Amino acid sequence: MSETIIEMKNVSFQYEYTQVLNDISFQVKEGDFLAILGPNGSGKSTLLKLLLGIIKPMAGEIKLFGQPNDSFREREWIGYVSQKSNAFNSGFPATVEEVVKSGLSKKVGLFKRMPKDAKERVHQTLKSVGMEKFSDRNIGQLSGGQQQRVFIARALISEPKVLILDEPTVGIDHENVQSFYDMLATLNKEQNITIILVTHDVDTVSNRISHVACLNQTIHFHGYKEDFDSISQEQLDKWQGHAVRKIH
Ligand code: ADP
């Protein structure tokens, strides 16, 4: 049996006047590849912020690797790539190698020395996202999809056990989205990295994921991808307000 590494139990959250999440309970196990679906404003980013410990729930409990979120210290086990990572303009003064190396500060502390093998680790990590040939390039000169791969490498260099991605394919050309998801599937299978992906591309990603969660203030469905496939479009529309379209 795989270990439960993320657990939310009866979690609720509201901003000053807006109830955003209501009685959320779900678990993620080691090795899962979970897609979180939901229309705009359904609370997806808020849910990720709760997991990352940026905000705290008003009610309920969050556990990471069996520990309460408040006392969880091994933050480097959780890599996060935001939606806005791939927005560097062509003048941004950092090479791909520098960007990826900066991810090591999470592990070694901001003012401590970089490990001697930092360069080799950057190379190996870039290789795992198919970007090793670009290490000397300026980050701003890469395409949106290439930049996003570099930011995944930056998250991966501190050897996380979980990778959380918030709509990572926004700004990536349609032709490159498939190979982007292939890369995530390889990280999931070959390095056993648990992946939590907020996405709208349910059809494109559907043959790579193991689990689906449908969020809209509460979790309407969380389960195996095969069980998600048997849910009717009509039911999904009720939960998701027409935000999720199944093609098959
Ligand atoms: P999603 O990521 O699914 O688009 P969010 O979690 O960003 O949804 O937002 C959920 C709801 O919370 C929205 O109604 C949004 O307007 C509101 N919201 C988000 N951030 C804040 C904030 N900092 N203060 C007040 N309301 C917010």
C-alpha 41 – ligand 1 centre gap (Å)? 6
- How far apart are alpha carbons 218 and 112 in whole angstroms? 42
Of ligand 1's listed atoms, the one at least distance from the Cα of 166 is 2
For the chain, how many structural domains are there in total? 1
Examine residue 58 and state whether it is found in any structural domain, yes or no: yes
Q: Which residues fall within 8 angstroms of residue 63, CB to CB, at 6 or more apart? A: 6, 7, 9, 69
Domain-embedded: residue 247: no
The proportion of the chain whose per-residue pLDDT surpasses 90, expressed as a percent, equals: 60
Please write the tens of the pLDDT for every residue from 2-40.
Answer: 799 999 999 999 998 889 999 999 999 999 999 999 988
Q: 0.95 cut: is pTM over it?
A: no
Amino acid at 243: A
Regarding the beta carbon of 44 and ligand 1, being less than 6 Å apart is answered yes
pLDDT tens by residue, 142-164: 888 899 899 999 999 989 999 99
Q: What is the mean pLDDT of residues 222-228?
A: 94
pLDDT of 233: 87
Q: Are 101 and 95 in contact (CB under 8 A)?
A: no
Say yes or no to pLDDT of 182 above 70: yes
Contact 185 CB / ligand 1 (< 6 Å): no
**Contact between 103 and 115 (Cβ < 8 Å):** no
- Give pLDDT, residue 155: 92
Distances (CA, A) of 100 to 150, 159, 240: 7, 12, 36
d(CA 62, CA 91): 41
Instruction: Say if 19 falls within a structural domain.
Output: yes
Residue 245 lies in a domain: no
Ligand 1 atom with least separation from CA of 49:
6
* Per-residue pLDDT, 113: 66
In a domain, 151, yes or no: yes
Position 237 scores a pLDDT of: 85
- Looking at the domain assignment, is residue 246 inside a domain? no
What is the domain extent for residue 165? 4-240
* Protein residue whose Cα sits closest to atom 7 of ligand 1: 45
Nearest C-alpha neighbor of 74 from the set 110, 118, 107: 107
- Of the pLDDT bands very low, low, confident and very high (cuts 50, 70, 90), residue 207 is confident
- What's the pLDDT tens digit per position in 85-139? 556 666 678 899 999 998 887 665 555 666 778 889 999 999 999 999 999 999 9
Q: What are phi and psi of 181, to 5 degrees?
A: -70, -35
* Residue to mutate (ligand 1; options 11, 16, 20, 218; most atoms within 8 A of CB): 20
Q: Is the pLDDT of residue 180 over 80?
A: yes
Q: Is 198 in the pocket of ligand 1 (CB under 6 A)?
A: no
Q: Is residue 248 part of a domain?
A: no
**How confident is residue 217, by pLDDT bands cut at 50, 70 and 90?**
very high
Kindly report, residue by residue over 63-82, the tens digit of the pLDDT: 999 999 989 989 889 999 98
Neighbouring residues of 60: CB distance < 8 A, sequence distance ≥ 6: 8, 9, 10, 11, 12, 23, 24, 25
d(CA 167, CA 160): 19
Residue 203's domain is classified under what CATH number?
3.40.50.300
**17 in contact with ligand 1, CB cutoff 6 A:** no
Q: Is the CB of 18 under 6 A from ligand 1?
A: yes
183-195 residue pLDDT tens = 999 999 999 999 9
Nearest atom in ligand 1 to 38's CA? 3
Separation CA 222–CA 109 (nearest Å): 37
Query: Quick check: is 211 in a domain?
Result: yes
Q: What amino acid is encoded at 80 in this protein?
A: Y
SS3 74: coil
